Structure 1
Amino acid sequence: MPHRNAPLTETGRLRLATCIVEDGWPLRRAAERFQVSPTTAKRWADRYRESGVAGMADRSSRPHSSPRRTPSRTERRIIKVRLARRWGPARIAYLLGLNPATVHRVLSRYGLARLTHLDRATGAVVRRYEREAPGDLVHVDIKKLGNIPDGGGHKVHGRARGSRNSTASAPIANNGTGPRTKLGYGYLHNAVDDHSRLAYTEILADETKESAAAFWRRAQAFFTAAGVTVARVLTDNGSCYRSRLWRQTLTDAGIVHKRTRPYRPQTNGKVERYNRTLMDEWAYARPYTSEQQRRDALAGWLHTYNHHRAHTALGGKPPASRVPNLTGQYS
């Protein structure tokens, strides 16, 4: 296909060539008429004589031979290392004494998948899926997060002073005679809908079965209010999700419980990716001066995520675009 500034399309080339070959126009007169150089006019006329109308189509600019192309033996070595060790172009290049750009060209030439598209354990291409409707599957997981001391931690004051501030903020146990207690952790209980990526998050004090079951009851109420009927829940094999209380909570709600294979967090990848987004865009997005300040920011961030944040898996639209009644206007 000709570029946007090309003076001749395929139809224009054919008219130029027929004027020269069939009508007997001089090269210079034809070139002036079609506003091209005499050399260009001669090229299209010669192609018309050689191949007729078919010769007016664009041809590949690839050379007939490439004497400086990477030898086949080197290409085979590159592919062998990639398949055996699943390394990127830079590491392969250092091992084989090549330029990383050369290795990248070879991998691209043979259509080898990017490492981000591979399962690191097996080397197989990751099969991505998406349920057809909201509620068909909800991913649930827990993310452990260290609490921020009053006055701010190392992100505010630096490592040295931040560590002292963290210790000073913790009360001393045993009436002042024992060691300082730790600040502890918050546990982010997260639920993400597979189809819409609609998310619900709470920060709780622990990850016990009682907390997990209570969280799910509130999460289900959130999804129900948004017009989403949950049919299945997928979790990892944490102790709270293997408990009788968790199983009974889902059974009473008519929900099927699925668990991932052991040591295979990729199966629950959507909520794992949500955890990373949560850390990058909320937990560590700015230097908070207290744990309460960070927790107060969660509700606003969660609203932005569900209603306004462009999601790459949804074509740049927010989860609200795939949920029938997230705003509650049809209740």
Structure 2
Amino acid sequence: MRRNDASDALGALGEALHPFQDSWSHQGVPDVPLRPGLRLRPDLSSAHPEARGGWFSKAADRTYLHVSDVTNMARETFAVLQRYLQHNSQWRVRASADWSALEPIVREFAEASTRQQKDAWAVKHIPRDWSASVEAGRYLSLPAGPASFARQFQAVRPPSALASSAEVPTALLEAANGFVNAWIGTRDVAAAAEFVDTTALGDGLAGTLETTSDAAPKVVREWSRRFLAMYLVADHWEVDAAGHADPQHPEYATMPETSQGEGPFRTLSVLQPPKLGADHFVVLEKTPPGPGFGVALRMSDLPYEVVAFVWREIDGRWLITSMFYVLN
């Protein structure tokens, strides 16, 4: 809001508005990331409160579930921008619209519950010369409808300070690339799940899955197949609605263990696996039972989600001992 420094003040205001606006979707008791199951940093909390779906859900950010909050947030944002122009009148080029005229437009956006509806809103209300108005809803975790597209999986290259390319065994690279080619390239979820060590994975999922009975290997294998299959699904909204492979979610059992040709969990027709190199891995620890290596993947149409895998050598074979996702 500073006077006589309008450009710098506008940048600072823009940065401050983001947490201010998120305070509506993040209201409530914070959740613990990776609850249930493995907790990477139990001393940190997720901005998505448990009452709004928690860390493993995008429900807190879905406007159509919180129309009043979105409208209130927009009204207060409008008031802040009005104050900015009062302090920096040289940037005003026309009289401001009245909030009563803007409110129904904001509410229309908030109530739009599919990607197509968000796109239609953008075409209706955003100037055509704004390039981002094209397919504005593509990257939103909302029902996708009949549209299809390619999902490209990209390996996350860690910072140079964490890179471990000199220490990555050739056998690990061969196993990891065999895994992604089976999982993504040929959509053979069962074959990809054979790269998972059920004992180690079950230890990490203790308290989430029933891993103490004789059926534990079968239960863990089913979970791993569901986890892998969900990233082949075209409509990721369906995945989120079914709990993102959370075994405690009431819709968990509806998630498939294989790629699907039709139905709500239909597999994308075009999936592009990454080529994993040594520079994509980080050494997680070097203590017994041997070094662990981590690798993370991003998806071209899911920019706010990362899926990670931990590999260890067990009885002479490189296997996945942990896999999880993180929502940004």
Bucket of the pairwise TM-score, normalised by the shorter protein: under 0.3
Give TM-score, length-normalised by structure 2: 0.23
Bigger radius of gyration among the two = 1
Which structure has more strand as a fraction of its residues?
Answer: 2
Which structure has more helix as a fraction of its residues?
Answer: 1
